[in-house]
Amino acid sequence: MKTIDSKSCDDNSKFSFNTANRETAESILSRYPEGWKISAVLPLLHLAQKQNGGWLSKDAMEHVAVILNVHPMRVYEVASFYTMFHLSSVGKHVVQICRTASCWLNGAGQLTELCKKKFDINLNETSSNGLFTIQEVECLGACRNAPVVQINDDYYENLDGRSLEKVLDQIVADFVPDYSTNNSNKSSGFNK
Ligand code: FES
């Protein structure tokens, strides 16, 4: 279970949307009818997380609660449920390895071990250069192309140790990796 980073509770720097994101937040809210603004909680949390350097501080979640005019608990419970929201600071690239059945049976465990060894960290830790945080998550919904890893907003499918290592090395070198299904017009997957 995820918990709110207690350090962020002592942070005096209050979070609020910058001008551009305030306009984006207003545009998001305008899509929802009066009485149903709480439904904007997911896109607003995404916006807050992006502005806050990739994670949601307590202040950031409270700001969203104020905008939605709901008790902060309504926002905390959403943010703590979904693995795409991070409640403590993370590296520049969050590597989320699916550990559910299809991926596990197709080698997800080895991918996790590879990442741990490559970055010399354990799960939910960030590499010393601040570049990578590794996490295990439940089904990413692309089981047909298991094993699957999500890195920030992109999916990488049909991976093995060699192809994942290549993706990670390309990210370190600031290249756009070859194997993201999001970067391809092909249906999906990396042909090993
Ligand atoms: S089991 Fe990994 S994507 Fe579904």
Looking from the CA of residue 140, the nearest atom of ligand 1 is: 3
Inside any domain, residue 52? yes
- Judge whether residue 184 has pLDDT over 90: no
- Judge whether residue 11 has pLDDT over 80: no
Q: How far is the centre of ligand 1, averaged over its atoms, from the C-alpha of 9 (Å)?
A: 35
Residues 168 and 112: their CA atoms lie apart, in Å, by: 13
Q: How far is the centre of ligand 1, averaged over its atoms, from the C-alpha of 154 (Å)?
A: 15
Three-state DSSP at 117 gives: helix
- Tell whether 97 and 172 lie within a shared domain: yes
Residues 185 and 29: their CA atoms lie apart, in Å, by: 32
DSSP string computed for 72-96: HHHHHHHHTT-TTS-SS---SEEEE
DSSP string computed for 142-184: -GGG-S-EEETTEEE-S--HHHHHHHHHHHHTTPPPTTBGGG-
Average pLDDT, rounded, for the chain = 89
Of 22, 45, 79, which closes a domain?
A: 79
- Tell whether 104 and 27 lie within a shared domain: no
Q: How far is the centre of ligand 1, averaged over its atoms, from the C-alpha of 173 (Å)?
A: 28
Does residue 98 contact residue 137 with C-beta atoms inside 8 Å? yes
Q: Give the per-residue pLDDT at 186.
A: 38
Q: Give the per-residue pLDDT at 6.
A: 52
- Give the confidence band of 9 by pLDDT, cuts at 50, 70, 90: very low
Residues 120-151: tens digit of each pLDDT: 999 999 999 999 999 999 999 999 999 999 99
- Tell whether 10 and 74 lie within a shared domain: yes
CATH of the domain at 117: 3.40.30.10
Q: In the chain, helix, strand, coil percent, each to 5?
A: 45, 10, 45
Inside any domain, residue 84? no
Cβ-based neighbours of 58, under 8 Å, separated by 6 or more: 4, 5, 8, 9, 11
- Give the confidence band of 4 by pLDDT, cuts at 50, 70, 90: low
**Which segment of 27-36, 155-164, 174-183 scores lowest on mean pLDDT?**
174-183
Ligand 1: residue of 97, 98, 137 to mutate (most ligand atoms within 8 A of CB) is 98
Residues 37 and 29: their CA atoms lie apart, in Å, by: 6
Q: How far is the centre of ligand 1, averaged over its atoms, from the C-alpha of 143 (Å)?
A: 4
- Judge whether residue 40 has pLDDT over 90: yes
- Give the confidence band of 177 by pLDDT, cuts at 50, 70, 90: confident
Inside any domain, residue 36? yes
Cβ-based neighbours of 64, under 8 Å, separated by 6 or more: 41, 44, 45, 48, 75
Looking from the CA of residue 102, the nearest atom of ligand 1 is: 1
- Tell whether 165 and 106 lie within a shared domain: yes
Supply the pTM of this predicted model: 0.83
Three-state DSSP at 17 gives: coil
Ligand 1: residue of 83, 96, 99, 100 to mutate (most ligand atoms within 8 A of CB) is 100
Inside any domain, residue 189? no
- β pairing state of 93-98 and 132-137: parallel
Inside any domain, residue 170? yes
- Tell whether 103 and 172 lie within a shared domain: yes
- Judge whether residue 159 has pLDDT over 90: yes
Domain that holds residue 67: 6-79
- Judge whether residue 52 has pLDDT over 60: yes
- Tell whether 75 and 101 lie within a shared domain: no
Q: Give the per-residue pLDDT at 174.
A: 81
- Tell whether 97 and 178 lie within a shared domain: yes
CATH of the domain at 26: 1.10.10.1590
Which residue would you say has higher pLDDT here, 9 or 171? 171
- Tell whether 101 and 138 lie within a shared domain: yes
Residues 3 and 25: their CA atoms lie apart, in Å, by: 25
Structural domains in the chain (count): 2
Which residue would you say has higher pLDDT here, 183 or 55? 55
- Give the confidence band of 187 by pLDDT, cuts at 50, 70, 90: very low
